[in-house]
Amino acid sequence: MTPVATAWRRPVVLLLVRSQPARTRTRLFSTTPRRLDVYAFIGLGQMGYQMARNLQSKLASADTLRLYDINKAAVQNLVKEATSQQVGGVVIQGSDSAEDAAREANVVISCLPEPEHVRQLYGTILKAQKPSSKGKDASWTAEPRLFIDCSTIDPSTSREVAASVLATLPNGAGQFIDAPMSGGVVGATAGTLTFMVGTPDDHFSRVEKILLRMGKQALHCGPQGSGLAAKLANNYLLAIENIATGEAMNFGMQWGLDPQVLAKVINVSTGRCWPSEVNNPVPGVVATAPASRDYQGGFGIGLMRKDLRLAMEAAEDKGVKLPLAEVAADVYKSAEAESRCKGRDFSVVYRWLGGKE
Ligand code: NAD
């Protein structure tokens, strides 16, 4: 190979023009110029803080990451942590408002507790948009601005917000995507989350690249709203399996079965499920399960109650019968009302059932 051909194959060279404003700075590649990306991350709670930390560590040098949370301390802590450990040149900025964080950002990621927070956040962000921003943005990027919501909310609220994004940023200027996740705080910290994504086909590969900076897989579930439908269907099933596993373990043990033996039987038989195999509710059966550390950590019973409620609301929206849901919701509600169960992993329903510990 000639020296000229070798040079042509060298990896991309970055040249930063720092004196220009962020949205017009260009990263000059050996082939075509590429603008620098501005990300906004909104909602730095248990999940969001860790996700934003992973995102910043994997962003390209000299991209910008803006952070916002109503809790100013979370913003300050992450800016401090990211700045002190920073590798590469990503610019981290704390923002004073959601509008400031999202202004002209190519990618906005949100991770908020409840549907009303998501509705309110995007109401605020969209109000601050100039209606003509399509024409303006199109001059520097052909790609739509992405609004990726990782919150667990109901699909109807998500579709409502998606419709307001389309109305404010029409003709492909903006796309709202639902990308709820599983993997918990452990997965968020390790960057091993699984995202369930609802978006039109043509946006998925771009969305996937972004999500893989915070997780290990992104599953395309279908059009907008499908990620949440998948997430709630899964968590509904989990809510029922968790209670049923607690009941079955308690039942067998009351008949004198050793819990290890019973779990072994179930886990090679048709009753096998994640609560029986990985998150067994009986202390000592699975050493790494929350039950073996007094139900600390894991997936909080409050979060399970929330997801079950959202699944029930989404079922009602479509006229779907979920006859077990009411019973399950009562079980979680009664268990959470007891101080020995409150704030613990959802497998603590086994304790509420009176299971032997
Ligand atoms: P969290 O309550 O710890 O964090 C939410 C953050 O949002 C807080 O820092 C809060 O200050 C901030 N916030 C609230 N309203 C805001 C607003 N209007 N603008 C900006 N910031 C705002 O919640 P979390 O555990 O991080 O969960 C976030 C989402 O992820 C939820 O929808 C939850 O159901 C889902 N989820 C959580 C887990 C988990 O294990 N924690 C697992 C999977 C999915």
pLDDT in tens, 165-207: 999 999 989 999 999 999 999 999 999 999 999 999 999 999 9
Contacts of 109 (CB under 8 A, 6+ apart): 39, 40, 41, 42, 51, 52, 55, 148, 149, 150, 210
- pLDDT tops 90 at residue 35: no
Ligand 1 surroundings by CB, under 6 angstroms:
42-48, 68-71, 74, 98, 111-113, 117, 120-121, 151-152, 181-182, 184-185, 299, 303
| Pairing relationship of beta strands 145-149 and 107-110 according to DSSP bridges | parallel
Atom 8 of ligand 1, nearest CA residue: 45
Q: In the predicted model, is pLDDT for residue 119 greater than 50? A: yes
Domain boundaries 230-352, corresponding CATH code = 1.10.1040.10
For 75-99, what is each residue's pLDDT tens digit? Answer: 999 999 988 876 656 889 999 999 9
pLDDT band at 136 (very low <50, low <70, confident <90, very high): very low
Q: How far is the CA of 113 from the centre of ligand 1 (A)?
A: 4
Q: How far is the CA of 44 from the centre of ligand 1 (A)?
A: 7
Q: Is 148 helix (H, G, I), strand (E, B) or coil?
A: strand
Residue 13 has pLDDT above 80, yes or no: no
- 1-12 burial code (b ≥16 CB/10 A, e <16): eeeeeeeeeeee
| Model confidence band, residue 130 (pLDDT cutoffs 50, 70, 90) | low
Given a cut of 60, whether residue 31 has pLDDT beyond it is: no
**Which pTM does this prediction carry?**
0.88
The mean predicted confidence, pLDDT, of the chain is 88
What mean pLDDT do residues 22-46 have?
66
Q: Which of 44, 50, 66, 70 to mutate to test the pocket of ligand 1 (most atoms within 8 A of CB)?
A: 70
Q: Is the pLDDT of residue 218 over 70?
A: yes
CA dihedral sign, ordered 8, 143, 45, 72: positive
The closest of 60, 70, 149, 140 to 106, measured between CA atoms, is: 140
Residue 12, pLDDT score? 28
Residue 9 has pLDDT above 60, yes or no: no
pLDDT at 15 over 80: no
Superfamily of domain 12-223: NAD(P)-binding Rossmann-like Domain (3.40.50.720)
pLDDT of residue 89: 67
Out of 76-85, 124-133, 149-158, the most confident range is 149-158
Is 231 annotated in the active site? yes
Task: Give the model's pLDDT for residue 287.
Answer: 98
Here the tokens at position 356 are 């032997």
Task: Indicate whether 343 pLDDT > 60.
Answer: yes
User: pLDDT: is 53 or 2 the higher one?
Assistant: 53
Query: Given this chain, do its domains 12-223 and 230-352 carry the same CATH topology?
Result: no
Pick the catalytic residue: 58, 209, 231, 318?
A: 231
Model pLDDT, residue 104 = 87
What confidence category does residue 36 fall into, taking pLDDT thresholds of 50, 70 and 90? confident
Identify the residue whose tokens are 């599983």.
Answer: 182
Report the distance separating Cα 341 and Cα 349, nearest Å: 8
Looking at residue 85, what is its pLDDT? 76
How far apart are the CA of 87 and the centre of ligand 1, in A? 27
What pLDDT band is residue 3 in, cutting at 50, 70 and 90? very low
SS3 of 39, please?
strand
For residue 137, pLDDT beyond 90: no
pLDDT value of residue 181: 98
What's the CA gap between 352 and 340, in Å, rounded?
A: 8
Higher pLDDT, 10 or 222: 222
- All structural domains of the chain with their residue ranges: 12-223, 230-352
The share of the chain scoring above pLDDT 90, in percent, equals: 80
